[in-house]
A and B are shown apart, each in its own frame.
Chain A
């Protein structure tokens, strides 16, 4: 609760002082989002990054791989569910086969033998399922702690959280231990990426937001999104894109090819 209040206060402060010349139509809540973004960043600098760095130093990469596989295996259950919900039965069966093989022969998932057997890991979640069903992304949204999202994915994240198999773990100490370890592992996997982001971006908030929106659109279409109309296509003397582009602002699942 105190955390929520803190976020609200920060957000309020951000609304007060942000001088956004022109709002991006995809991000009408930018001042609020920026507030939450800097709160997350502060928390990350103070806690998550140091802990993840320490973990990376202490745990050999072999151990980290096993930890990653273990949580990845648990994730495959609902990746499969989401594939079924999206009507991709073959993929869903493959995800569950992964879970079956990795949990048994792969010793509770620490060995990803299913990949070697030809069952590729997928990336699905409820946000993608809703997108596939036709839900528009809605405004961009930065969630406290979770980070980049949008309205659709935020709701999706709620479902992901609610259906997280770790929720079933008892006693609760074990449950929070696992959740914590998964968080640390995830953050450790991101250490290089976040350093690169810092070097690459003029404005990290904008860079991360645009990458998120592009990435999610790509994921919803499983890597084959319809081409979108670039607002600036006619500009520039360089390469002419084919004339087959659809007129589309950014994230319009109505145009999905199915």
Chain B
């Protein structure tokens, strides 16, 4: 073992978010990693800090009409519409598989009504998962969801009510499609969120000029990928500087350097989404990239860089 290896081994990659210990600060983002099993052939799930599973609803959902995806400059637009087998099948079929691996399991939930969110939180509280991520930011479904997440009163009410049923750490995932993300984040914190994750996708549209119609069957969809990163970094910075609870940053991360930007801006952990589609090993690559950065600047722990951004005068 040479000196470099020694130093790398001394770097502490662990982070703790709302009581959940993650071996490294990289989590696969909801909707981009299925239930883990789809990627298990391509990447060692044991090397990923956590997996936020595909957004779950109380009942099975078929999702939106195709086409559900459009490629845009440095990004993609999607309108899957929360296709999933429902929370019960997730518990029966997917949790046992996920638990074979040493990685945190986060259940991302979405609903049409506050009651549905509460019921899911209650059911999942007795399931073998590490945390619940409240998806109040999906732009692709007609009823509920983002409607709860884009006003201070909406986010306060849903967070407070779900909190009462949720025995697991509660992460609230914010939508960027608001005027002031700070007041939304503060409202989530004040209403009992244990952590905040951001950003969900930015509402967008792509048009097929030859057909003179939107590319997506649903007309609009959520933009993700490198194109959204500067917006996501800015919002992560704004939120991290105003709340005391941990912030999980995401939006266009595909390398360790991308992740470092979010961590300097105040994120305790990051989620990797769209990059998984391009590179199935993206989560592991990001974790290794973070480690390399820490090594390069002689940091001993991830915590040495979290929120260490110094603004220009």
Partners in one complex: no
Residues in B lying within 8 Å of A, measured CB to CB:
none
